Amino acid sequence: MKKTGKSGKRHNKFLASLLALIVLLAACSSQGGDNAPDSRQKEAVQTEETSAETAATDEIRMDGQLTGDMLMQPSGDTEGEAADPDGYSQEPLEVHYIDVGQGSATLLKSGRHAMLIDTGDSDQGTKIQLYLTKQGVENLDYLVLTHPDADHIGGAPVIITKFGIGQLFLSNYEKDNKTTQKVRDAMQYKGLTASDCQVGDTYTLGNASFTILAPVKEYADSNNASIVIMVQNGNNRFLFTGDCEAEAEADLIASGADLSADVYLAGHHGSDTASSQAFMDAVSPSYAVISCGEGNSYGHPHAEVLNRFRSMGIQVFRTDEQGSVVAESDGTGITWNCAPSETWQTGERTKNAQTGAENAETQPANETPIQETDTAAVQDKPATQQSDAVTLPAQEQKPVVADETPQAGNYIGNRNNGKLHKASCSYLPDPQNQVPFTTREEAVAAGYDDPCKRCNP
């Protein structure tokens, strides 16, 4: 019988030890793999963190200064603000008709986007600045100065200086006076140049948009050269015509543009040189806003215009009576911060009213004369008032002012707005605002180079 030697036992022990070592090393390797992520996992985590940081940076940028690309989105592209399936705006459009006295300034807001149309007179710039700041406006996507009259651009230097402006639109009519020079100085200070303003161009304002409709040609006066804008938010439309008068209104109608609007900012502050019947038929608004100053020397709004609005069933809002008027559009309907005015009070003054004589024939505040052919409007009055009401045709309702022309001077300048009148004009400013001149040349040399359209000095 063969015996096993010591060397064989030692060999078996070695194999057993080697096997145990292999098992132990395998267990350690498995435990280490469970605790350490591989390189691909590390890259994935780093990529995700980088994306989050980028997104946060973009969000901060969107809340700060607007970039040029964001301000000039083509029509229909509202980056970052999706419209609902029906095509209506999810962010409401706010339209603030700011009370700036005898002038005009309108703020439009859609989400974080803002636009200002006109800036009132020079004494209104700071007031508008504070109003915009209170509304949370830090930058303006657009500033539109419809035409270079002081009561529309006077406050622009303050606005240009205090706010970031994406694009500035100016009328193609130029004036050379102190007011326009201050605007140019402010533009130069901010390195701002006017954008090309072409009829038919459309721009976005948040979920809303606006289209340039006029001027359709060159005009010999600043009023008719006003930039005309149609703002659209869903199904709601807002029309701004600056100080366009009957001539420019007729050209707008002839251009074939769709002028229909829900809200119309009354042209030329409710003057009878604007808002012609043909134009109002084309616009056919439900609401009109009149921006004018209480007791202004022009008699705005004129009885003829109020006549027309009332006979057409247009509801009227007035800054001279109600202060700043705010409309909010959700794309399907419009709500207001106040009820429509019911006074129908003209700004025109009768000779009797000025001299303090009894004026039994003066219309009560709520009885602006209605044309005899306007049966529906007359029926709106109580029966007891129909028999007593004076129903003269609207075109005969002209202001009659007291015969208080200066003793010297054939021409009268208006120190408030630089307009020049003949001494016999029925639209002379109040005596304290009159500057008499012997000759027209003398008046023009003094800066009164904007002739009154009524008397054409």
Q: Mark residue 447 as left, alpha or beta (left: phi above 0; alpha: psi -120 to 50; beta: remaining).
A: left
The better pLDDT of the pair 73, 345 is held by 345
pLDDT given at position 248: 98
The alpha-helical segments, DSSP class H, found in 64-112 are 68-71
**Lowest mean pLDDT, pick from 216-225, 250-259, 317-326, 402-411:** 402-411
The better pLDDT of the pair 400, 38 is held by 38
Note the pLDDT tens digit of each residue in 182-195: 999 999 999 999 99
Give 442's Cβ-side CA count (13 Å radius).
Answer: 10
Burial class (CB in 10 A: 0-12, 13-18, 19+), 321: middle
pLDDT given at position 407: 40
Q: Is the pLDDT of residue 64 over 60?
A: no
Q: Which domains does the chain have, with CATH numbers?
A: 68-336 (3.60.15.10), 351-396 (no CATH), 411-451 (no CATH)
Name the average pLDDT for the chain: 78
The better pLDDT of the pair 57, 336 is held by 336
Mean pLDDT on 250-262: 98
pLDDT above 90 as % of the chain: 56
Residue type, 23: V
Q: Is the pLDDT of residue 44 over 60?
A: no
pLDDT given at position 24: 61
pLDDT above 70 as % of the chain: 68
Please state the three-class secondary structure of 234-285 as a single string.
CCEEEEECCCCCHHHHHHHHHCCCCCCCCEEECHHHHCCCCCCHHHHHHHCC
The Cα–Cα gap between 369 and 385 comes to 12
Note the pLDDT tens digit of each residue in 130-160: 999 999 999 999 999 999 999 999 999 999 9
Mean pLDDT on 326-346: 97
- Angle CA(298)–CA(410)–CA(179) in degrees, nearest 5? 50
The Cα–Cα gap between 380 and 309 comes to 14
As given in the structure block, the two tokens for residue 11 are 């060999």
pLDDT band at 242 (very low <50, low <70, confident <90, very high): very high
The Cα–Cα gap between 126 and 156 comes to 10
Q: Which residue has the tokens 């009829």?
A: 199
Q: Is the pLDDT of residue 99 over 90?
A: yes
For residue 87, the tally of other CB atoms under 10 A from its CB is 10
pLDDT given at position 452: 87
Burial class (CB in 10 A: 0-12, 13-18, 19+), 89: buried
Q: Is the pLDDT of residue 69 over 60?
A: no
The Cα–Cα gap between 93 and 207 comes to 8
pLDDT given at position 363: 42
pLDDT given at position 31: 47
Q: Is the pLDDT of residue 49 over 80?
A: no
pLDDT given at position 165: 98
Supply the Cα-derived Rg of the chain in whole angstroms.
Answer: 35
pLDDT given at position 98: 98
Q: Is the pLDDT of residue 71 over 50?
A: no
Q: Is the pLDDT of residue 398 over 50?
A: no
Annotate 100-140 with DSSP letters as a single string. Answer: -SSS--EEEEETTEEEEE---SGGGHHHHHHHHHHTT--EE
Residue 379 is classified by DSSP as H
pLDDT given at position 13: 57
The better pLDDT of the pair 454, 356 is held by 454
Alpha-carbon distances of 24 from 17, 106, 444, rounded to whole Å? 11, 82, 107
Q: Is the pLDDT of residue 79 over 50?
A: no
Note the pLDDT tens digit of each residue in 438-453: 888 878 877 788 888 7
Q: Is the pLDDT of residue 297 over 80?
A: yes
